[in-house]
Amino acid sequence: MKDSKGNAWQLKPGEKENENKLPDPLNEDVQKGQFSDTSSEPSEAKAEEVPSIPFITLFRFASTRDKLFIICALICSAVAAVSTPLNTLLLAYLLEAMVNYSIFGDADAFMKSLLNFAIYNAAVGAALVVLSYAATTLMNIAAYNQVYVIRQEYLKAALNQDFGYFDVHKNAEIANKMNSDIMKLEEGIGEKLATFFFYQASFLSSVIMALVKGWKLALLCLISFPVTMTLVGVAGLIAASLSKKEAIATGKAGAIAEEVISAIRTVYAFSGQEKELDRYEGHLNDARKINVKKSLFNGLAMGCLFFCIFCAYALSFWFGYRLMVTDGYDVSTMIAVFFGVMTGSANFGISSTLMEVFGSARGAGAHIFNMIDNVPTINPLQNRGTVPSDIEGNIELKNVEFHYPSRPDVPVSTYKKILVINC
């Protein structure tokens, strides 16, 4: 046999010609190299453990205008939340007017109280509509702007990774995360955040109103608050951890589906339908098990939360009756304090359900930002190193081995010497 220069190329005694042993047409020394018998296809690497990130990190790509929109949206949500204790006070005064009418029979005073309730309640409702619309719109605009930048940065980072990164991470998995994970991140930094802030501000303002109206009864009503706070905090942490695991399993399933569909003719040619289906179902079952576990935990946490709240309600009714007899609490004070704490606690319970959304956003954001922050070994976007103006001569590389990053202990090919002539 001869190479491209016409030089004779002899096989060693006892050596068989192998289609994998191809001489380099520019380098006869490569003939001494030896390919590994191991398959050149990389094995599936173990999933990389991505560290969790704080929630505030999700806003790292927010511009100055986006931050201004977020601040204005949160202010609108806080002002709109004041409508909850105001409605409670209006209802308390109306119920007191009804009680007085049933005792004294003053129809004019009752009609005046009823008219005032209708006017003030309508005004509060109109303000609530305007402020809620402004908060939701501003928050969504800021979220869309951030997601637009995140998609650009994610795609730019994915396109500039070196080969080693794609050997460990499947291409389809990266594309799937660009859709599903960014949608979860957008949900966590969009209108759900304004809604969460509204419910939390409503809870705080309702509790303050109840303490001002009757601090003794309010303190008793709040006896379950430390327990509920602990439940919500623990539930949020566990939900974030489970959501991250679910996102990993779902991403692997999506990667397998895209991989099989893109090479469907090859799969049919080798009758690999059942094998690929088993792989896909395996990752889906992992995601389903994690989701079932997360749902059971969320249901248990919510059940414990409302159990504590209802126990506090029962105790509050009993103690409130004693205060009406001994401390001279009137009907409006009793109603304002009880319903203030009740609506505030209900809003706190509703806001706790959104913790799962923020946990999912944190888990998704960890994967997205891990890709964006990953700096490849060969980075074409950075102007580092020395670039010579002119090179003459040959380049010689000795004892070169090639490995896949997913299998660093298994050499794919080995060369004793590589010579690049007339570079």
Q: Check residue 381 and give its pLDDT.
A: 66
Residue spans of the domains in the chain: they are 55-373
At residue 73, the pLDDT reads 96
Residues 66, 148: Cα–Cα separation, whole Å: 12
pLDDT, one tens digit per residue, over 252-264 is 888 888 888 888 8
Round to whole Å and give the CA distance between 79 and 61: 27
CA 214 – CA 225 distance, rounded (Å): 17
Predicted local distance difference test score (pLDDT) of residue 14: 46
Phi, psi (rounded to 5 degrees) for 233: -65, -45
pLDDT exceeds cutoff 90 at 147: yes
Report the share of the chain in percent with pLDDT over 90. Answer: 26
Determine the pLDDT at residue 87.
92
Please report the pLDDT score of residue 170 as a whole number: 67
User: pLDDT at position 413, please?
Assistant: 72
Query: Which amino acid does the sequence have at 420?
Result: V
Which of 88-102, 197-211, 319-333 has the lowest average pLDDT?
Answer: 319-333
Quick: pLDDT tens for 314-352: 888 888 888 888 887 888 888 898 888 888 877 887 887
- Give the CATH number of domain 55-373: 1.20.1560.10
Given the structure tokens 């008793």, which residue do they identify? 220
**What pLDDT is recorded for position 172?**
62
Residue 341 CA to residue 364 CA, distance in Å, equals 35
Half-sphere exposure of 311 (CA within 13 A, CB side): 11
Written as six digits, the tokens of 418 are 């590589």
Mean pLDDT, residues 105-124 taken together: 90
**pLDDT confidence of residue 422:** 63
Is 180:250 a contact under the CB 8 Å cutoff? yes
What tokens were used for 212? 């001002």
User: Does the CA dihedral 98-102-106-111 come out positive or negative?
Assistant: positive
pLDDT mean across residues, the chain: 80
Q: Could you identify the residue written with the tokens 């007017």?
A: 97
pLDDT at 141 exceeding the cut of 70: yes
* Structural contact between residues 342 and 22, judged by C-beta atoms closer than 8 angstroms: no
pLDDT of residue 385: 67
